[in-house]
Chains A and B, each alone.
Chain A
Amino acid sequence: MYAQMVKSEATTEAPELLAGFQARIDAGEKIEPKDWMPEGYRKTLIRQIGQHAHSEIVGQLPEGNWITRAPTLERKAILLAKVQDEAGHGLYLYCAAETLGVSRDELTEALLSGRMKYSSIFNYPTLNWADIGAVGWLVDGAAIMNQVPLQRTSFGPYSRAMIRICKEESFHQRQGYDIMMKMAQGTPEQKAMAQDALNRFWYPSLMMFGPSDKDSVHSAQSMAWKIKINTNDELRQKFVDQTVPQAEYLGLTIPDPELRWNEEKGGHDFSEPDWSEFFEVIKGNGPCNAERMEARQKAWDEGAWFREGLMAHARKRAAAKVAAE
């Protein structure tokens, strides 16, 4: 899940309209772009889909950091394919958001001015090759945990984008785990890299689900509208329960001394991440926030002449066509 703490927008429409809308959602109908929808639903979705799209775009950077240092031709090709998929996910999601009446340029401006966020996870650095494995295994694993239920989300274009995205994400997670296997079974240095990557990515991955339910103020309305399907804590628990045996299989240690199986609840007990760190990262104080935004700003600014050049050429072509007619 690449959307965290998406604020539900207030909505002020007449109660009968809202009740009719809710009845459609409760009946499992998909809401399509031309259907009537409450303003709050529209705005909340723009925020959530936009944040997800931005995360795919910014998420290219920590992985791109290793494309030029990938250790084999095969690994380089796989990583390129994965990053290409992510840019493609960004594209579908921006298109889904456009159906709600917001352009990609407007969303980009909102990202660059800091009015819109992207997932906290991409503000952490990728420091050794095993981090590329950990990003696939843990980060994509956490994303899938949230995106699989979102295939059933109430907004048609978002749901359809999620169906495509989930197919590709499960391949991403497998390739990440495959890197981790090679590293964990490799030389002592490789094993140390794998453990180091797990140590650094474990808690940031748990943060991807957003704050604990008791502190999550935006959930109720989004869940009623089926913009959000499960609570943050439900998904986090599921993620931990899925990941612990995978770490054991790799022979790696999850950096949590409190982690143990709880027979009674049928799941693991585990330590909460440091939420004060999470809120600092969201505020812009994570290890890589400044670099990530600088990189995006630079790409946008330095690309202006390119975008303008293409537009100017298109205008010339159109004028020539009119003149010829």
Chain B
Amino acid sequence: MVVALDLDHALFEGLCRMGDSTLVLGHRVSEWCGHAPVLEEDIALANIALDLIGQTQLWLGLAAQVEGKGKGKGRDADALAFRRDAWEFRNLLLVERPNGDFGHTLMRQFLFDAWHQPMLKALEGSSEARVAEIAAKAGREVAYHLERSADLVIRLGDGTEESHKRMQSALDRLWPYTGEMMTSDETDRALAGAGVMAAPDSIRPAWEAVAAEVLGEATLKIPEGSHMHKGGKQGTHSEHLGHMLATMQWLQRAYPDARW
């Protein structure tokens, strides 16, 4: 019984890690609305943000169900998104990085997509049917995200001198946030042990292969430093997340009795 309870808690954490990452990245991408360098990108960014917010509804919706199990009622996806404070968020540090220039936004997307796609693929094999279903649905969307971000990284990396410089500088800046995606902690190991979620370190070979191939074709150089930031998955974030939440959660918090 004790084991089952612990596993539910780990599952809640694991689902928040997925759902908070899609929420925070979806929010960041949506900040571009109306400001992209070409109209096609405005359309693509809105579309990607929409996919990510849709995935958030599924992951956090399931997290809320898992949390409320046996208690009669728990929170719902909106309560998790809009009423938790920064230290309760479990998103990867990478996705809360500010947008920067368009090159930064694209590189962040690529580094995430290259992890997101194999992670969802692995989650399709989850012993928990609801996890497998969400992963299958999200996976179809994310295959397109990766195709687009990889293509643009290649074209801009191997474009003009300036576009190359900008993409290299984005890669240098964001690289130290990639390690966290592939580092497993106790929660991850408990979930992987039960066959419910894939261990992040098992994603590393697939991620490294895609990153090496795409960045190579883009004529970009993978940074040499090995230091990696961590903490997002456990709730220790950068200063940026609090500001994002102040914007995102403002209406819900200012008018707690309202229904929207």
Residues of chain A at the chain B interface (Cβ within 8 Å): 57-58, 60-61, 63-64, 67-77, 80-81, 83-84, 87-88, 90-91, 94, 104, 129, 179, 182, 186-187, 189-190, 295, 298-300, 302-314, 316
- The CA-CA distance from A193 to B174 in the complex, in Å, is 41
| B260, A305: Cβ atoms closer than 8 Å | no
Interface of B is mostly: helix
| B34, A182: Cβ atoms closer than 8 Å | no
Chain A nearest CB from B144 CB (Å) reads 14
Interface of A is mostly: helix
The 9 closest A-B pairs by CB, nearest first: A303-B37, A309-B163, A309-B159, A64-B33, A60-B34, A84-B46, A71-B260, A71-B251, A313-B155
B73 within 8 A of A: no
| B156, A94: Cβ atoms closer than 8 Å | no
Identify the stretch in B47-55, B108-116, B124-132, B178-186 within 8 Å (CB) of chain A at 4 or more residues.
B47-55
Which residues from A are CB-within-8-Å of B224?
A: none
| A71, B160: Cβ atoms closer than 8 Å | no
- The CA-CA distance from A197 to B44 in the complex, in Å, is 30
* Residue in B23, B33, B248 whose beta carbon sits within 8 Å of that of A83 in the complex: B33
Which residues from B are CB-within-8-Å of A69?
A: 247-248, 250-251
- The CA-CA distance from A299 to B255 in the complex, in Å, is 34
Given the interface contacts A60-B34, A84-B47, does A303 sit within 8 Å of B102 by beta carbon? yes
- The CA-CA distance from A182 to B251 in the complex, in Å, is 14
| B46, A186: Cβ atoms closer than 8 Å | no
Q: A68-B247, A72-B82 are in contact. List 17 more A-B contacts (CB 8 A).
A: A58-B34, A64-B33, A68-B30, A71-B258, A71-B260, A87-B46, A91-B40, A186-B259, A190-B258, A306-B103, A307-B38, A308-B163, A309-B160, A309-B163, A310-B155, A311-B159, A312-B159
Q: Which of B131-151 contact A (CB under 8 A)?
A: none
- The CA-CA distance from A72 to B73 in the complex, in Å, is 19
Chain A nearest CB from B168 CB (Å) reads 12
- The CA-CA distance from A172 to B42 in the complex, in Å, is 18
Residue of B nearest to A316 (CB): B158
| A309, B155: Cβ atoms closer than 8 Å | yes
- The CA-CA distance from A63 to B53 in the complex, in Å, is 17
Which residues from A are CB-within-8-Å of B248?
A: 68-69
Chain B nearest CB from A134 CB (Å) reads 15
Residue of A nearest to B256 (CB): A187
| A84, B43: Cβ atoms closer than 8 Å | yes
| A73, B30: Cβ atoms closer than 8 Å | no
Residue of A nearest to B60 (CB): A73
* Residue in B50, B77, B166 whose beta carbon sits within 8 Å of that of A81 in the complex: B50
Chain B nearest CB from A217 CB (Å) reads 32
- The CA-CA distance from A75 to B259 in the complex, in Å, is 11
| B30, A67: Cβ atoms closer than 8 Å | yes
Which residues from B are CB-within-8-Å of A313?
A: 154-156, 158-159
| A182, B39: Cβ atoms closer than 8 Å | no
- The CA-CA distance from A316 to B164 in the complex, in Å, is 14
Given the interface contacts A72-B260, A306-B102, A306-B156, does A91 sit within 8 Å of B36 by beta carbon? no
Which residues from A are CB-within-8-Å of B163?
A: 305-306, 308-309, 312
- The CA-CA distance from A71 to B40 in the complex, in Å, is 27
Which residues from A are CB-within-8-Å of B42?
A: 60, 87
